[in-house]
Chain A
Amino acid sequence: MRLQVDYTRRLALDGIFVALALLLSYIESVVGFTAILPGAKLGIANLAVMLAFFRTGKADAVLISLCRVTLMSLLFGNFQYFIFSLFGATFAYLAMLFISRISSVGRVGISVASAAAHSVGQIVAAALIYSSLVLVSYLPILLVTSILSGTLNGVLLILIERRLEVIYKRKDAKLEK
């Protein structure tokens, strides 16, 4: 089900998604995974982007992702952080776009592909910045962690969408009264 919303409502919804993405980004930067595996993240910020991707629209998801990257870089990062995030987010989005066209792949598959592409994007950014391919040797580990975080996010996404549908149904029932 895709929401048929007017532009004002859509804009407000996108704003909420940006805020949600930013909050989730912050949470995952605080959760200390990087101490065990540098570069490995929960990827929950992608939840907000994926939710927007499936709920409001593909174009909305791009804008939310870009806003998240820009705001996070301005708030907590630097130019280098911006480049790394931008590459990760772009790769993640493109993977989401392509994989979601395959009908047999569900939310979990899309989420895993997106997480894996994010890792690839970050390594590509590192390779460009340092003009060295040495970090490619780290990619296999990141890809394996992407499978774990991607699966987690895919399942979370399904659960959130189910809850949302219940909420929308209740709202529709109320309006009919």
Chain B
Amino acid sequence: MIERKKLPFVRRGDVVVIFAVLALAMALALGVILLGSGAEIGSRLEVHAPSGVSYYQLSDDATFDISSEGYTLRVVVSDGEARVDLCDCPDGLCRRMGSISRAGESIICVPARVKLVVSGENGGNDDAIAG
């Protein structure tokens, strides 16, 4: 058997890869921030669930529950912003997505298959905004 020289744990190429991934992350974060801030303030909240779509006005403060796929989401609308306050889904990602108020912004709860989208006066297009 050939005795192999032990290579260092981290090599030069490794550092390049790490910085490339970091640069990609920062570029994406910057893109998301820049694209997100230009959107108009939305007026309507669309709740997409497997059972259908329902609409709420962001100007009216409200708290309501959405049941879907065996999970319950509590959505709170206040000061023109909507957020998921409580959700019993396993990952809880929807609660961490924060508040949405601008047209095109959305919150997705993957396990419950629920999507909350803010739309503006002329109907928001989430894909165009979220970049």
Contacts and interface: CB of A to CB of B under 8 A. Distances in A.
Interface stretch (A13-21, A86-94, A97-105): A97-105
Nearest to A105: B13
Given A112-B17, A147-B21, A134 B130 contact: yes
A90 to B, nearest CB: 18
Given A116-B21, A146-B21, A130 B115 contact: yes
A105 B16 contact: yes
B9 interface: yes
B126 A133 contact: yes
Closest 10 pairs between A and B when the two form their complex, measured CB to CB:
A105-B13, A109-B14, A104-B13, A143-B25, A109-B17, A38-B93, A140-B29, A106-B11, A38-B91, A140-B25
A39 B91 contact: yes
Contacts of A130: 108, 110, 115
A136 B28 contact: yes
Contacts of B15: 109
B36 interface: yes
B90 interface: yes
Interface of B: 1-2, 4, 6-18, 21-22, 24-26, 28-29, 32, 36, 90-93, 96-97, 105-108, 110, 115, 126-127, 130-131
Contacts of A38: 91-93, 96
B130 A133 contact: yes
Interface of A: 1, 34-35, 38-39, 80, 99, 102-110, 112-113, 116, 126, 130-141, 143-144, 146-147, 151, 154-155, 158, 162, 165, 168-169, 172
Contact of B7 (A106, A138, A146, A155): A106
A27 to B, nearest CB: 17
Contacts of A1: 1-2, 4
Contacts of B92: 35, 38
A115 to B, nearest CB: 9
A104 B32 contact: no
Contacts of B16: 104-105, 109
A99 B17 CA distance: 9
A108 B26 contact: no
Contacts of B36: 137
B131 to A, nearest CB: 6
Contacts of A106: 7-11, 13-14
A126 B110 contact: yes
